[in-house]
Amino acid sequence: MTPTMTPATSGPALRVEGLGKRFGAVRALDGVTLDIRPGEVLALMGENGAGKSTLLKIITGDHRPDDGRLLLGGQEVSFGSPADARRAGVRVIAQEPEIIPHVSVAENVYVGALPARGRLFSHRALSERTRADLERLGFAGAMDPGCPGERLSPAQRQLVEILRALTGEVRVLAFDEPTSSLSDHEVSALFALIRRLRDQGVAIVYVSHRMQEILRLADRVAVLRDGRLVGVRPAAETGEDELVRMMVGRDLSAMFQRERNRPGGPVLALNGVTTDDVTDVSFEVRAGEVVGLAGLVGAGRSELARAVVGDLPIRSGEVLLEGRRLRPRSPSDTVRAGIGFAPEERKAQALLLHRSIRDNVSLAVLDRLSRFHLVRRAAERALVREYADRLRVKAPSVETEVRRLSGGNQQKVVLARWLARKPKVLILDEPTRGVDVGAKAEIYSIIDRLAADGVAVLVISSELPEVLGLADRIVVMQNGRVTGELDRRQAGEEQVLALAMADQITSEGARQ
């Protein structure tokens, strides 16, 4: 699969001119004019609800604009469907890939190019073709072309979407949060592929919430806010602070304005905790304190959290809650004891996506809302509305299905669940993953209020600025062990990274 490239022209590959789009009373786009040039990566940034998805859906044929026009290679075009856009060479790699579960990877990739019903084709030849595609694009061995779609991991599903988009002629290629489920190695391979496509003259639109990713990859950055184009900046001349100001109207430093209170006594204590994934882990979290758990991928942070909440077995050591040993047989035991847990994969592990906000928030407090095994619906609705309003969950009503919410609002629903439970300890695993800057600031504020109310908060995060900005103390892990603990006043990125890579640094020193 070597995608066919249309030769670059002197003008933009795609121009959106005065685009406007309304959904009822909501104006999703308001007069957006933007050039997408051949041979460049244009990053598209903005908070959830800023208009990014609407713009992508217009240029790829999912929506028709109410105002304005599209020009492809200087010629006005009107896409009535995604198939029209695809035939014109405009493709999007969606954040949630559409995979046919019962057919192979190879058939999923070439689903639009297979022979009509009744005509035979060689499964073996198609598999070999897909295997060669994976190798050519830098993903050799990432998956078996004969594997059924239903068995693919989230990262592999994303790769199928990428391969599918690169069949046929490509003029404009849009990526919507493509790295949300990829490993560091896969991200590096994806970036190398994007640069090759750019150098071959493809116009790339790249949507992401990840600042460092944008600044590392993009040539220009366009920022939307409330449906309007705020500005376009050269990525090489733009910093994170400026992009945040453009997106939300305030400085990055203002996101971490925590009121630091003197913490109380220990609420959660781990003494020599050992599982199949971690060894001899000891630290404590005090009342009103935020402790950050830092480390590289594979350090064992998430596995430790799951062991604390009763989801993985503890082989030796102990977990104490307010000085009393916990012996949970299941996560429900730790919930009743006073520990809340927001896992890393909120869609798969925390949320009932096809159920309402009300159902999801009340899930942890049904025992308190029930009488004679019957839920008091009026009390339930009042409680959920209270916490949805307090956390500013953006939705038409508490009966809205959670799958229809943005990532930031989905995470607020998870937090609302635990605020309603009023836990003594709250463990948050990657609480802002896939969340825009504005929602991040709101989540940081929620964490601050929890600590001010005396909750012991343990935050696991792979974003060092987040750990350094939020935490009172930072515990660093590597290879399932604690390698050090830092007070926030002595901690910097270099110190945390040195502890996160301690074994590697030691082994390199020994070799020298």
Q: In what order do the strands lie in the sheet with 220-225?
A: 90-93, 172-176, 203-207, 40-45, 220-225, 228-234
**Mean pLDDT value across residues 259-280:** 89
> Hey, what are 258's tokens?
């925590």
Q: Give me the residue label for tokens 């209170």.
A: 261
pLDDT at 5: 46
29-43, 76-90, 133-147, 223-237: which range is least confident on average? 133-147
The hierarchical CATH code for the domain 256-352+408-511 is: 3.40.50.300
Q: For 430-475, what is each residue's pLDDT tens digit?
A: 888 777 677 777 888 888 888 988 999 999 988 788 888 889 999 9
pLDDT at 306: 93
pLDDT at 432: 84
505 confidence band (pLDDT: 50, 70, 90)? very low
13-17, 88-92, 377-381: which range is least confident on average? 377-381
φ, ψ dihedrals at 232, nearest 5° = -125, 130
DSSP annotation of 478 reads E
The hierarchical CATH code for the domain 4-249 is: 3.40.50.300
Angle 10-13-18 from CA coordinates, rounded to 5°: 110
Q: Beta strand 14-23 with 67-72: parallel, antiparallel or unpaired?
A: antiparallel
pLDDT higher than 70, residue 198: yes
In the chain, CATH 3.40.50.300 sits at 4-249, 256-352+408-511
Q: Which residues of 42-55 are buried (b: 16+ CB within 10 A; e: fewer)?
A: bbbbbbbbbbbbbb
Q: Beta strand 473-478 with 290-294: parallel, antiparallel or unpaired?
A: parallel
d(CA 288, CA 151): 43
Angle 116-119-120 from CA coordinates, rounded to 5°: 125
pLDDT higher than 60, residue 119: no
pTM for the structure as a whole: 0.62
Report which of 414, 404, 439 is spatially closest to residue 359, judged by C-alpha positions.
Answer: 414
Report which of 182, 273, 211, 224 is spatially closest to residue 435, judged by C-alpha positions.
Answer: 211
**Mean pLDDT value across residues 204-221:** 88
Q: For 288-329, what is each residue's pLDDT tens digit?
A: 999 999 987 778 999 999 999 999 999 999 999 999 999 888
Q: For 346-356, what is each residue's pLDDT tens digit?
A: 887 888 888 99
pLDDT at 462: 82
pLDDT higher than 70, residue 9: no
pLDDT at 507: 44
511 confidence band (pLDDT: 50, 70, 90)? very low
pLDDT at 7: 44
